[in-house]
Amino acid sequence: MQELLFLAHRVPYPPDKGDKIRSWNFLKHLAERYRVHLGCFIDDPRDWEFTEFLRGICHDCCFVKLEPHRARLRSLRGLLDGRPLTLPYYFDTALDRWVREVLSRSAVTKVFIFCSAMAQYVSHDTQGSPRRVADLVDIDSEKWFDYARTLRGPKAWLWRREGERLRDVEKDIACSFDTTVVATAAELKLLRSFVPAAASHIAHVGNGVDAGYFSPDRQYAIPQGMRGTALVFTGAMDYRPNIDAVLYFARAILPSVRQRIPDINFYVVGSNPKPEIVALSSDEGIIVTGRVPDVRPYLAHANVFVAPLRIARGVQNKVLEAMAMAKPVVASSAAINGIEAQPGNEILVADGAEAFTKAICRVVETDIGAQIGRDARRRVLADYAWSASLTRLDAALGA
């Protein structure tokens, strides 16, 4: 069995966040075909309980504790040496030493890095190196440019700088790695546009969804305290685009919806809610759950799944999961980027507070939601099985 080095900026298990859903499905697939050496950071103390499980499916592992405060201080080195702040944020000497040891003592034939920041650990190996594949997932530089466009002043300058420096890193990866993959056709087009010389070895490996796990045929008890007509949003609530989406919805959309449907409640389901999200719990009709063991009961008993993202890159797994559960989804255009679904039939697309309000009320006040949900699940079953993506991953690795 060939050996493979798998490096990720976040531990790939449990699959409770968008990037971890992708990295876990890739790792699980590769561990069935290779002796995997896994190196990654752990940024949530609760995730340490899963390290033994990962050791059980991998040949060996190196888990590094990521302390955000120290990492932020460490990232400031980028201002001194011209690098993006992301690289020193995700650099650890012990992990670097482990990677070098693995590459020197083991017959590693493939290297797979998940997230551009992890490329720095294998960039030193040039002569006779194993086949290297990078999964950028999304074009992170564009995300920082998006952030910068929302602000003015020093922070806008800093984020614009981060975008510029990360773009240089992405260009270098695309030119130096054997294959670079991204999660959507739109990201593929963007990457090829600024690295045309590498276009032939840049590929699209999409996300999938486990439609058996996220099935409307399963029965779930109503979560404690869930009542009335339910609008549900899921996602990590320490992630800026999710924070922005929830605050925008709570302030600009929910009040007008509640005027028409007084018993409606908005459930914010996701881990690590920031203080501004927790504060929403004091508003009438908003329930912030924090981390839950399983999001499916909330999806199962939702009347509408809402995805009002204004900043978004790549495929939103939360939207695919709700569609798989046969739920009517009302989403912004940004939230469905990379998802092939027919607006009006398989998903409702609404941009702006007024359009979002009308779409939600249309679903709640008519019987259109059930049909949209059924059509949405059919779309997921037809186009979003993980098997197709994993076949493309094998091709990228030269399997």
- 227-258 pLDDT, tens digit each: 999 999 999 999 999 999 999 999 999 999 99
- Cβ count within 10 A of residue 290: 14
pLDDT tier at 30, thresholds 50, 70, 90: very high
Q: Kindly list the domain boundaries of the chain, sorted by start residue.
A: 3-208+385-396, 229-383
Strands of the chain (E only): list them: 3-8, 35-42, 60-65, 108-114, 131-137, 179-182, 202-204, 229-234, 264-269, 286-290, 304-307, 329-331, 348-349
The rounded mean pLDDT for the chain is 94
Q: Mean pLDDT across the stretch 69-80?
A: 93
Give pLDDT, residue 40: 98
Amino acid at 313: R
Q: What is the CATH number of domain 229-383?
A: 3.40.50.2000
Q: Is the predicted pLDDT of residue 270 greater than 80, yes or no? A: yes
Q: Are strands 229-234 and 202-204 parallel, antiparallel or unpaired?
A: unpaired
Give pLDDT, residue 16: 86
Q: Is the predicted pLDDT of residue 36 greater than 80, yes or no? A: yes
Note whether 3-208+385-396 and 229-383 share their fold.
yes
Q: Is the predicted pLDDT of residue 128 greater than 60, yes or no? A: no
Q: Percent of the chain scored above 70 by pLDDT? A: 99
CA distances from 197 to 119, 172, 207, 335, 390 (A): 19, 11, 26, 30, 26
Q: Is the predicted pLDDT of residue 283 greater than 70, yes or no? A: yes
The superfamily (CATH) of domain 3-208+385-396 is Glycogen Phosphorylase B; (3.40.50.2000)
Tokens matching residue 280: 């929403």
Instruction: Write out 114-149 in H/E/C secondary structure.
Output: ECHHHHHHCCCCCCCCCEEEEEEECCHHHHHHHHHH
What tens digit of pLDDT does each residue of 80-110 get? Answer: 999 999 999 999 999 999 999 999 987 999 9
What tens digit of pLDDT does each residue of 53-66 get? Answer: 999 999 999 999 99
Q: Is the predicted pLDDT of residue 127 greater than 50, yes or no? A: no
Q: Mean pLDDT across the stretch 198-205?
A: 94
CA distance 248 to 213: 30
Give pLDDT, residue 124: 61
What tens digit of pLDDT does each residue of 309-340 get? Answer: 998 877 899 999 999 999 999 999 999 988 98
Q: Is the predicted pLDDT of residue 369 greater than 90, yes or no? A: yes
